Amino acid sequence: MIDLTVNGAAARVDVDPATPLLYVLRDDLHLHAAKFGCGLGQCGACTVLVDDRPVFSCLMPVGAIGTRKVTTVEGLGTAAKPGDVQRAFLHEQAAQCGYCIPGMMTRAEGLLRKTTTPTEYAMRTAMAPSLCRCGTHMRILRAVRRAAVMRGGGVVDAAEPVT
Amino acid sequence: MSGQASRRDVLGGLLVAFSFAPAALAQTGGGEGSGGPPTVAPDLPGTLAKFPDLDAWIRIAPDGRVTVFTGKVELGTGVKTAMAQLVADELDVAIERVDLITADTSLTPNEGVTAGSQTLEQSGTAVANAAANVRLLLAETAAGRWGVAATSLFTRDGAVLDGQGRRATYAELAASTSLAVRARADVPRKRLAARRLIGRPVPRVDLPAKLTGLPSYVHDMVLPGMVHARVLRGPSSGTRLTPDLAALRRQSGVAKVVQVGRFAAIVGPREWPLEQALRVANRGRWVRDAAVPALPPMPAGLLTMRRESQVIDTRRDDPAARGIRRLSARYDRPYLMHGAIGPSCAVALFEEGRLTVWTHSQGVEPLRQAIAELLAMPVDRIRCVHREGAGCYGHNGADDVAGDVALIARAMPGVPVRLQWSREQEHGWEPLGPAMLAQVDATLDASGRIVDWRHQVWSNTHSTRPTAAGDLLAGSEVVPPFTPTPPKPIPQPNGGGDRNAIPLYRFPNQTIVSHFLPDMPVRVSALRGLGAHLNIFALESFMDELAVAAGRDPVAFRLAHIDDPRAAAVIRRAADRFGWGRYRPASNRGRGFAFARYKNHGAYCAVALDVERIPDEGRLIVHRAVAAVDSGEAVNPDGIRNQVEGGIVQSLSWTAIEAAGHDGARRTDYDWSTYPILRFADAPRSVSVEVIDRPGTPFLGTGECAQGPTAAALGNALAAATGVRSRSMPLAAGSPTPV
Ligand code: FES
Ligand code: FES
């Protein structure tokens, strides 16, 4: 049995400790926001926060989490009451197919927990591990800039202003 | 998307099914974006011409909710929202009261394949006109009740009113209004001034669920008792794995090995043990099937392959025109990958002789035909239901994985099976966008005008979309195998390899030749834009080369050769917004411009780029991208901007850095480490898109209009920045040819 704290709630799962966190989230806890993209740590579709750090949940063995807190997109807010990163993404309509977006939002949340005033370069570097094939990059960056402002900060040197 | 909800009759059994065209007529061709049954009502617009009865498209439940049925699917382009806007506006109901059922062979009209940027043109036009018809019928019911003329009534927010205080809701009226009637062609759409939703940037209806983690994709489906599966395949298309199935059977977590001929899959209750078993299996030996033709060196090898040549357009308006200067150039692109972020996935259940497949295929109807043949089942015992996947950008593994899961599910009656490909399988087996080569020759006269133009393009087919079992991977693995449908060119005016090979410019003399290459050493099929990506790259690069030769500004040179006023408007708008005339080049930095009308009958799009090339690194910085687009009537301008922004970024990636490799035996790209795509660091500093709305004119479609112009604008900007023109993609690599 493995004990976890996911989105503030305690969870207990009976799985091989080597199982990547992603499968536990999706198949055992029915939290579907984190997506399978590659299983190789190359695309970021599976990104969740462990404590405040974005991690590839497809690589992270569930047995290695320990007491650290796991946050998924479900923990950022709900459709009825979206959190500020979600509101920023909705405001910018920052999605096409949307498959990469949960990973983008958790990665953005991780960045903003570290600093709400990143430079444009730091923001792009922080987002770089996540791939989007639809080419939604510009809207995703706009949404992160907007979320930074909503958190009382703002992206310094923004390539495109928040409008 | 719980299993119960998916399997329940979506309409609660309240509404009777409408009649479909006979299955035999539902057979579609291998074309792209076409298909479905024949036209039966040529006077009706869009796909209403094939399904003229209103209840095929719209039904109103006793609680007043409106259900719209479309045979087209959401691929991430926002068409669900646009269709909901059209119906809500034409019918006068709140958009929140409109539900959409997309592509379900048991419920929706057969609209063939969702492709070619034709969804709004075909299905959007149908639902908008159907909604206008339904609104009129409801008003006529109210008029009958009240003994007044329908023309004296009006509608607001889901009700008919007489202006004197009488009001009847659609819910009440629907109970005594039959929608099982043929649409009328003469019912007017809403006046432009009365529209509340069409033309507005209405937020996407599907995003709240997707952005908060509610199950939204086929990947997220969970059915009671569902098991997982992994298919066993060699490293890439054309290879075959010879796994030790007995050893796999003993592997923990593998409950069953399903083997049908040379097709094999493992099944188990949990994903992770299956992933581990798959890794063990992948260590097994693989062989290459000899049947695949040898791959000549690309791209020049395309010129050596067996070909069927056809003059697709020719004009001799001024045979006497005297040219003084002749230029020629060759342009090419490598094989490109669709590269969906989510690998292909499908779910199936075989129960009591019936099979249901949940799939992110772009064409549930042709897929159903192919699966019926694969399983030797009557087509009416198979239901294919569309569920969204990750963006596909054309024909990727979606259909194949559905065929795979159908075979597995049939071996496990009563058990729902979910099959997800691995990343390596998606990279290794998806049909690639074909490698292409184009040669353009043109002559300038003394005044710097083009008097003669010749464009030739060499390409494989751009559609091997399944219409039969042999077109699915599993179809070639069962014994005896099915044969694939022979490839054929997609005819003009859409075109496949020759899409957009015919210039929209007015040249007095021109010859356009399409060299169709039937042999496919590499598995290929439709990638967004088909041949338009390379043909527009060639055409619009060459326009710049000619402008330089003629000593003309590239934008002015284009305007001098175009007589379509909407094309000219788009070119001018993009140039204005970019500040073309005021631009000051800097060292290693330049501007580039390109224009096209997609398919010559779709959206008009012009793109201007400001690009810097970092010397020695080959890295590109796109400082600014500005586009103007005319998609006809803009149902959702923000949706159009989203598509064009995305098209620009996607095409920058394709054009600058991508090439799918093959070493003659197998593909050499099996994940994102060997097939890199554009990341945030290399995304443009800014992208802005200007939508030119043409209310009251036909929808022209948007999803693929930006890729070609972006490719050429990048080539043109790099030539301006560096003085060296690259005619071979990927433009950020390789050895450029001197201008
Ligand atoms: S799925 Fe984890 S990085 Fe791709
Ligand atoms: S929105 Fe489709 S992959 Fe990013």
- At B451-479, the pLDDT tens digits run 999 999 999 999 999 999 999 999 999 99
- Chain A: give the shortest CA distance to residue B277, in Å: 13
* Strand extents, DSSP E, B558-669: 589-597, 604-613, 620-630
Q: Is residue A159 part of a domain?
A: no
Number of H helices, E strands in chain B: 16, 26
We report the CATH number of the domain holding residue B261 as: 3.30.365.10
Measured between beta carbons, the chain B residues lying within 8 angstroms of A137 are: 649, 678, 680, 683
Q: Do residue A98 and residue B677 have CB atoms under 8 angstroms apart?
A: no
Q: Is residue B727 part of a domain?
A: yes
Both B411 and B440 in one domain: the answer is: no
B230 touches B423 (CB < 8 A): no
Q: Is the CA virtual torsion B96, B102, B107, B108 positive or negative?
A: positive
Q: Which residues of B589-626 are buried (b: 16+ CB within 10 A; e: fewer)?
A: bbbbbbbbbbbbebbbbbbbbbbbbeeeeeebebbbbb
Q: Is residue A20 part of a domain?
A: yes
What's the mean pLDDT in B467-496?
95
Both B385 and B279 in one domain: the answer is: yes
B349 touches B223 (CB < 8 A): yes
CA of A131 to the centre of ligand 2 (A): 8
Q: Is residue A162 part of a domain?
A: no
Q: pLDDT by residue (tens digit) across A51-61? A: 999 999 999 99
Residue list, ligand 2 pocket, CB within 6 Å: A 95-101, 132-134, 136; B 76, 341, 390-391
Measured between beta carbons, the chain B residues lying within 8 angstroms of A139 are: 642, 645
- A131: nearest Cα among B681, B65, B140: B681
B183 touches B125 (CB < 8 A): no
We report the CATH number of the domain holding residue A33 as: 3.10.20.30
Q: pLDDT by residue (tens digit) across B318-330? A: 999 989 999 999 9
Q: Which residue has the higher pLDDT, B307 or B78?
A: B307
Three-class DSSP category at B694: coil
We report the CATH number of the domain holding residue A145 as: 1.10.150.120
Three-class DSSP category at A56: strand
Element (H, E) at B457: strand B450-459
Both A71 and A92 in one domain: the answer is: no
Tell me, what's the pLDDT at B582? Answer: 97
Residue A106 lies in domain: 84-150
Both B128 and B232 in one domain: the answer is: no
H-assigned helices in B360-419: 364-375, 398-410
Q: Do residue B272 and residue A86 have CB atoms under 8 angstroms apart?
A: no
State the pLDDT confidence band at B33, using cuts at 50, 70 and 90.
very low
Element (H, E) at B242: strand B239-242
Q: Which residues contact B222 (CB under 8 A, 6 or more apart)?
A: A30, B2, B3, B215
Q: Is the CA virtual torsion B537, B538, B540, B546 positive or negative?
A: positive
In the predicted model, is pLDDT for residue B289 greater than 90?
no
Both B50 and B158 in one domain: the answer is: yes
Both B86 and B185 in one domain: the answer is: yes
H-assigned helices in B234-361: 245-250, 271-282
A-proximal residues of B, 670-689, CB under 8 Å: 671-673, 677-681, 683-687
A70 touches A50 (CB < 8 A): yes
What's the mean pLDDT in B56-70?
94
Could you tell me which residues are beta bridge partners of residue B334?
none
B117 Ramachandran zone, left/alpha/beta (phi>0; psi -120 to 50): left
- Kindly list the distances between the CA atom of residue B12 and the CA atoms of B6, B65, B178, in Å, as whole numbers in the listed order: 12, 13, 18
- Chain B: give the shortest CA distance to residue A152, in Å: 22
- Chain A: give the shortest CA distance to residue B77, in Å: 6
**Number of domains, chain B:** 3
Distance CA B368, CA B426 (A): 22
Measured between beta carbons, the chain A residues lying within 8 angstroms of B220 are: 26, 32
Tell me, what's the pLDDT at B35? Answer: 67
Residue B514 lies in domain: 436-462+497-738
Both B418 and B564 in one domain: the answer is: no
State the pLDDT confidence band at B739, using cuts at 50, 70 and 90.
very low
What's the mean pLDDT in B644-653?
98
A-proximal residues of B, 142-201, CB under 8 Å: 201
- Chain A: give the shortest CA distance to residue B218, in Å: 11
Q: Which residues of B528-567 are buried (b: 16+ CB within 10 A; e: fewer)?
A: bbbbbbbbbbbbbbbbbbbbbebebbbbebbbbbbeeebb
B113 touches B362 (CB < 8 A): yes
Domain end call among A31, A47, A75: A75
Angle between helices A120-127 and A137-150 (to 10 degrees): 120
Tell me, what's the pLDDT at B258? Answer: 97
B340 touches B389 (CB < 8 A): yes
Measured between beta carbons, the chain A residues lying within 8 angstroms of B642 are: 93, 96, 136, 139
For residue B527, which phi and psi values (nearest 5 degrees)?
-115, 135
Angle between helices B398-410 and B364-375 (to 10 degrees): 40
Distance CA B609, CA B717 (A): 7
In the predicted model, is pLDDT for residue B486 greater than 70?
yes
Strands B620-630 and B687-691 come out as parallel
Q: Which residue has the higher pLDDT, B21 or B443?
A: B443
For residue B430, which phi and psi values (nearest 5 degrees)?
-60, 145
CA of B392 to the centre of ligand 1 (A): 18
Measured between beta carbons, the chain B residues lying within 8 angstroms of A76 are: 212
Q: Best mutation site among A73, A93, A97 for ligand 2, i.e. most ligand atoms within 8 A of its Cβ?
A: A97
Q: Is residue B319 part of a domain?
A: no
- Token pair recorded at residue A4: 């976890």
What's the mean pLDDT in A39-61?
98
Both B421 and B440 in one domain: the answer is: no
Chain A contact for B647, CB < 8 A? yes
Residue B271's identity, in one-letter code, is E
Distance CA A138, CA A118 (A): 17
Q: Do residue B643 and residue A96 have CB atoms under 8 angstroms apart?
A: yes
Q: Do residue A23 and residue B270 have CB atoms under 8 angstroms apart?
A: yes
Nearest-by-CA chain B residue for A82: B212
Q: Best mutation site among A93, A96, A106 for ligand 2, i.e. most ligand atoms within 8 A of its Cβ?
A: A96
Q: Which residues contact B246 (CB under 8 A, 6 or more apart)?
A: none
Tell me, what's the pLDDT at B737? Answer: 40
Distance CA A31, CA A22 (A): 9
What's the mean pLDDT in B578-597?
96
Distance CA B173, CA B92 (A): 14
Both A65 and A109 in one domain: the answer is: no
Mean confidence (pLDDT) of chain B: 92
Nearest-by-CA chain B residue for A85: B211
B624 touches B683 (CB < 8 A): no
State the pLDDT confidence band at A137, using cuts at 50, 70 and 90.
very high
Both B573 and B693 in one domain: the answer is: yes
Q: Which residues contact A89 (CB under 8 A, 6 or more apart)?
A: A95, A101, A104, A105, A140, A143, A147, B207, B211
Lowest mean per-residue pLDDT among A25-29, B106-110, B382-386, B636-640: B106-110
Q: Is residue B210 part of a domain?
A: no
B-proximal residues of A, 117-156, CB under 8 Å: 124-125, 127-128, 130-141
The shortest CB-CB distance from B680 to any of A30, A127, A133 is to A127
Q: Is residue A60 part of a domain?
A: yes
In the predicted model, is pLDDT for residue B222 greater than 70?
yes
Q: Which residue has the higher pLDDT, B735 or B567?
A: B567
Q: pLDDT by residue (tens digit) across B388-425? A: 999 999 999 999 999 999 999 999 999 999 999 999 99
Both A96 and A144 in one domain: the answer is: yes
In the predicted model, is pLDDT for residue B148 greater than 80?
yes
Domain end call among B161, B182, B204: B204
Q: How far apart are the first and last CA of chain B?
A: 56
Both B422 and B280 in one domain: the answer is: yes
Alpha-carbon radius of gyration of chain B? 27
Tell me, what's the pLDDT at B156? Answer: 93
Domain end call among A30, A47, A75: A75
The shortest CB-CB distance from B342 to any of A31, A36, A40 is to A36
Distance CA B612, CA B721 (A): 7
Q: Say if residue B322 is exposed, middle or buried (CB neighbours under 10 Å; 0-12, 13-18, 19+).
A: exposed
B416 touches B347 (CB < 8 A): yes
State the pLDDT confidence band at A89, using cuts at 50, 70 and 90.
very high
Question: Count of A–B CB contacts within 8 Å?
Answer: 187
Q: Do residue B686 and residue A160 have CB atoms under 8 angstroms apart?
A: yes
Q: Is residue A155 part of a domain?
A: no
**Number of domains, chain A:** 2
- Kindly list the distances between the CA atom of residue B369 and the CA atoms of A40, B10, B60, B365, B366, in Å, as whole numbers in the listed order: 35, 23, 31, 7, 5
In the predicted model, is pLDDT for residue B4 greater than 80?
no
Measured between beta carbons, the chain A residues lying within 8 angstroms of B216 are: 32, 98
Nearest-by-CA chain A residue for B390: A99
Both A89 and A134 in one domain: the answer is: yes
For residue B637, which phi and psi values (nearest 5 degrees)?
-60, -35
Both A142 and A95 in one domain: the answer is: yes
- Token pair recorded at residue B49: 């011409």
Both A61 and A43 in one domain: the answer is: yes
Residue list, ligand 1 pocket, CB within 6 Å: A 36-46, 56, 58
Three-class DSSP category at B407: helix
Domain end call among B174, B204, B234: B204
- Kindly list the distances between the CA atom of residue B149 and the CA atoms of B136, B141, B142, B145, in Å, as whole numbers in the listed order: 12, 10, 9, 10
Q: pLDDT by residue (tens digit) across B503-529? A: 999 999 999 999 999 999 999 999 999
Distance CA A49, CA A61 (A): 14
- B373: nearest Cα among B471, B283, B445, B458: B471
Q: Is residue A134 part of a domain?
A: yes
Strand-by-strand arrangement of the B436-444 sheet: B308-316, B509-516, B450-459, B436-444, B325-333
Q: Is residue A57 part of a domain?
A: yes
A-proximal residues of B, 473-492, CB under 8 Å: none
In the predicted model, is pLDDT for residue B435 greater than 50?
yes
Both A9 and A65 in one domain: the answer is: yes
Q: What percent of chain B has pLDDT over 70?
A: 94
Q: Which residues contact B292 (CB under 8 A, 6 or more apart)?
A: B238, B521
In the predicted model, is pLDDT for residue B598 greater than 90?
yes
In the predicted model, is pLDDT for residue B7 greater than 70?
no
ipTM passes above 0.90: yes
Domain end call among B429, B450, B483: B429
CA of B405 to the centre of ligand 1 (A): 23
Could you tell me which residues are beta bridge partners of residue B604?
B597, B630
Both A70 and A116 in one domain: the answer is: no
Measured between beta carbons, the chain A residues lying within 8 angstroms of B270 are: 15, 23, 27
Measured between beta carbons, the chain B residues lying within 8 angstroms of A30 are: 222
Alpha-carbon radius of gyration of chain A? 15
- Token pair recorded at residue B707: 């890729």
Could you tell me which residues are beta bridge partners of residue B513?
B311, B456
Q: What percent of chain B has pLDDT over 90?
A: 83
CA of B683 to the centre of ligand 1 (A): 21
Q: pLDDT by residue (tens digit) across B659-703? A: 999 988 899 999 999 999 999 999 999 999 999 999 989 999 899
The shortest CB-CB distance from A45 to any of B215, B341, B679 is to B341
Distance CA A148, CA A108 (A): 9
Side-chain half-sphere CA neighbours of B533 within 13 A: 32
B227 touches B416 (CB < 8 A): yes
- Chain B: give the shortest CA distance to residue A99, in Å: 5
CA of B408 to the centre of ligand 2 (A): 29
Both B550 and B663 in one domain: the answer is: yes
Tell me, what's the pLDDT at B676? Answer: 95
Q: Is residue B487 part of a domain?
A: no
Q: Which residues contact B19 (CB under 8 A, 6 or more apart)?
A: B53
Q: Which atom of ligand 1 is nearest to the CA of A35?
A: 1
Tell me, what's the pLDDT at B5? Answer: 31
B-proximal residues of A, 82-101, CB under 8 Å: 82, 86, 89-90, 93, 95-101
